[in-house]
Amino acid sequence: MIEIREVKTKKERKEFVEFPLNLYKGNEYFVPPLYGDEMSIFKPDYVYYEQADAVYFNAYRDGKIVGRISGILQRAANKKWNQKQIRFTRFDAIDDQEVANALFEAVENWGRSKGMEEIVGPLGFSDLEREGLLIAGFDQMNTFEEQYNYPYYQKLIENCGYGKDVDWVEHQLRVPEGGFDPKYRKIGDMMLQKYNLHFGEAKNTREFINKYAEDIFKIWDETYDKIYGTVPFTDKLKKSIVAQFKLLINKKYIRVLFDEHGTIVAFGFLFPSISDAVRPSGGRLTLPCIIRILKAIRHPKVLDLAIIGVIDSYKNKALSASMLAELGEAMIRDGIDHCETNLNLEHNIPIQNAWKYFDAYQNKRRRCFIKKL
């Protein structure tokens, strides 16, 4: 018999956070989130609780935890998209349909009690959190920004009555053998000259954040306003993002484009991959883990594509040629093995077409599911 408990006690919170660490122990593709970040979701002042409600459940059999799930009522998202949805996230379980049934029944009943009509997921509080169930690419190292799961998760979820809502694809990018076709650099330079644009500079990460953060958030909001699952930024969320990005940013992999008036029109940045750095400690920021992270940031072998933003008036003007030429040259200069794109919506053809500059192949696919309540 499966017992479902809403997470309330310190012990239950610890079990909730540590369950996937134990479930994936020894798995060479699983990359944990930072342990402290996961524990922070239980704090009353957690950054998203000003725009969302959440519930957390553990599943037990004979007193032993065998699964977990969280439900989110994202009020800002429902208002933006005119929906009555809850989201499920942080679903992990052993390969047992009875466990999955009990967990999803608990979160669905919670959603009904809130007057909601649909449940979707895996989706976090925003698109900045890990989202989507891995359905292809199980033999690929996960990026730090996304979640790995076993293949049987899809069966468990579909057997609970869920169907596809949307898919994301991920690509691995490598510099073509022999280097980039010079025409791409030429196209990029032509676009800069035509629109009188130039790349901005900053001496260090602190200066970059102080100079550009607020303008970047404006472009970010504008660029991704209509993208699936997005929610508006709050001031508190902006501060949280800046604090997190400070840990991961290397100024060498940031590009900001300005017009002749000094206004930002586009930006792009990548994170040095810290996947290998956080795995040995289970995401805990031990001293050895911090040393590994700093080394990975300063001398990366792999880059994770974080975000590219372009203001509406400069879309479809081939600015991607300039941005990607800069990226490619940085990869060559620093001996980067490859870049991981993270999630692109399957129907976002313009961004997928941009990968033609590289030797690219699709290495992962993720899915968001939906069910009527």
DSSP 248-285: H--GGGEEEEE-TTS-EEEEEEEEE--HHHHTTTTT--
pLDDT band at residue 182, thresholds of 50, 70 and 90? confident
Whether the CB-CB separation of 73 and 53 falls below 8 Å is answered with: yes
Integer Cα distance of 225 and 208 in angstroms: 24
Phi, psi dihedrals of residue 346, rounded to the nearest 5°: -60, -30
* The residue type at 355: W
Quick: pLDDT tens for 275-306: 999 999 999 999 999 999 999 999 999 999 88
Q: Which residue has the higher pLDDT, 345 or 216?
A: 345
pLDDT of residue 53: 96
pLDDT of residue 118: 97
Integer Cα distance of 229 and 121 in angstroms: 10
Residue 244 pLDDT greater than 90, yes or no: no
Quick: pLDDT tens for 184-196: 777 778 878 888 8
Q: Which residue, among 157, 60, 75, 144, has the nearest Cα to 116 in the 3D structure?
A: 75
pLDDT band at residue 161, thresholds of 50, 70 and 90? very high
Residue 354's alpha-carbon distances to 288, 318, 319, in angstroms, are 38, 9, 10
Helices 235-248 and 205-223: angle between axes, nearest 10 degrees: 130
Quick: pLDDT tens for 2-53: 999 999 999 999 999 999 999 999 999 999 999 999 999 999 999 999 999 9
Q: Which residue has the higher pLDDT, 294 or 241?
A: 294
Q: Which residue has the higher pLDDT, 63 or 250?
A: 63
Structure tokens, 44: 């009353």
Integer Cα distance of 277 and 294 in angstroms: 9
pLDDT of residue 160: 98
pLDDT of residue 27: 96
Q: What is the CA radius of gyration of the chain?
A: 21
Quick: pLDDT tens for 311-338: 877 777 667 667 777 777 788 888 899 9
What pTM was estimated for this model as a whole? 0.91
Average pLDDT over residues 221-226: 79
Q: Which residue, among 249, 247, 178, has the nearest Cα to 212 in the 3D structure?
A: 249
Place of tokens 């609780």: 49
**DSSP states along 79-96:** HHHT--EEEEEEEEE-S-
Instruction: State the Cα torsion 338-272-201-244 to the nearest 10°.
Output: 150
Q: 3-state class of 4 per DSSP? A: strand
Integer Cα distance of 318 and 166 in angstroms: 27
Average pLDDT over residues 97-119: 98
Mean per-residue pLDDT of the chain: 89
Q: What percent of the chain has pLDDT over 70?
A: 98
Ramachandran class of 70: left when φ > 0, alpha when ψ lies in -120 to 50, beta otherwise: beta
Residue 121 pLDDT greater than 90, yes or no: yes
* The residue type at 33: P
Residue 272: which residues within 8 A CB-CB, separation 6 or more?
A: 248, 250, 253, 296, 297, 298, 300, 302, 303, 304
Q: Using alpha carbons only, what angle is made at residue 310 by residues 306 and 311, rounded to the nearest 5 degrees?
A: 140
pLDDT of residue 318: 67
Characterize the bridge pairing of strands 338-340 and 302-310: parallel
Residue 128 pLDDT greater than 80, yes or no: yes
Instruction: Give the single-character DSSP code of 33.
Output: P
Average pLDDT over residues 158-181: 90
The total number of residues shown for the chain amounts to 373
pLDDT of residue 202: 67
Whether the CB-CB separation of 248 and 272 falls below 8 Å is answered with: yes
